[in-house]
């Protein structure tokens, strides 16, 4: 009888420990979630709508995906206010001795024709860019680079996006 009561008592203690652990875990999750929401609203962040140069030595990451498994990564320096992606890419290509060809169309803009050895039209692929993970909305000669931008030049099919 005493042994049975002791086992019953032992089982109840285990159940209480399990319930306590569940309650403590839930409280921890709630506190973590609440802190996360508070931190998101309190900690200031940069806005991506600012189109001016944010620092004198603004840096831009430029990745060039040749469409064949080869990807080169460069860091470009914004050298002047209102610098365009075309100018930045041209400077990076020149400094790194990477082939770079383009055609300028009056009243339309600039078409990047070749980066490295990959030329537009090869295997029905063309040079296209993404800025901060968004497909281009304007030509490279119209996009003003900003400090912290991440640019991806990709050599892909027209339907590749």
Cα torsion angle, 133, 135, 141, 143, sign: negative
Q: Could you report the per-residue pLDDT of 47-80, keeping only the tens digit for each?
A: 333 333 344 468 999 999 999 999 999 999 999 9
The C-alpha atoms of residue 42 and residue 46 are separated, in whole angstroms, by 13
**For the whole model, what pTM was predicted?**
0.63
Round to whole Å and give the CA distance between 64 and 89.
10
User: 99-134: per-residue pLDDT in tens?
Assistant: 999 999 998 999 999 999 999 999 999 999 999 999
Instruction: Using CB atoms within 10 Å of the CB of residue 90, give its burial: 0 to 12 exposed, 13 to 18 middle, 19+ buried.
Output: middle
Question: In angstroms, rounded to a whole number, what is the distance separating the alpha carbons of residues 84 and 54?
Answer: 15
pLDDT digits (tens, 9 = 90+) for 24-35: 777 866 666 666
């Amino acid at each position: 009888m005493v042994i049975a009561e002791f086992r019953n008592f032992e089982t109840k203690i285990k159940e209480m420990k399990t319930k306590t652990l569940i309650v403590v875990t839930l409280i921890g999750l709630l506190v973590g979630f609440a802190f996360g929401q508070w931190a998101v609203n309190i900690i200031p962040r940069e806005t991506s709508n600012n189109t001016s140069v944010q620092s004198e030595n603004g840096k831009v990451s430029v990745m060039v995906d040749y469409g064949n498994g080869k990807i080169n990564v460069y860091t470009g320096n914004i050298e002047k206010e209102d610098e365009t992606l075309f100018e930045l890419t041209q400077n990076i290509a020149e400094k790194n001795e990477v082939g770079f060809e383009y055609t300028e169309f009056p009243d339309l803009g600039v078409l990047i024709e070749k980066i490295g050895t990959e030329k537009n039209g090869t295997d029905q692929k063309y040079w296209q860019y993404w800025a901060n993970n968004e497909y281009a909305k304007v030509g490279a000669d119209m996009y003003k680079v900003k400090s912290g931008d991440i640019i991806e030049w990709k050599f892909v099919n027209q339907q590749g996006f």
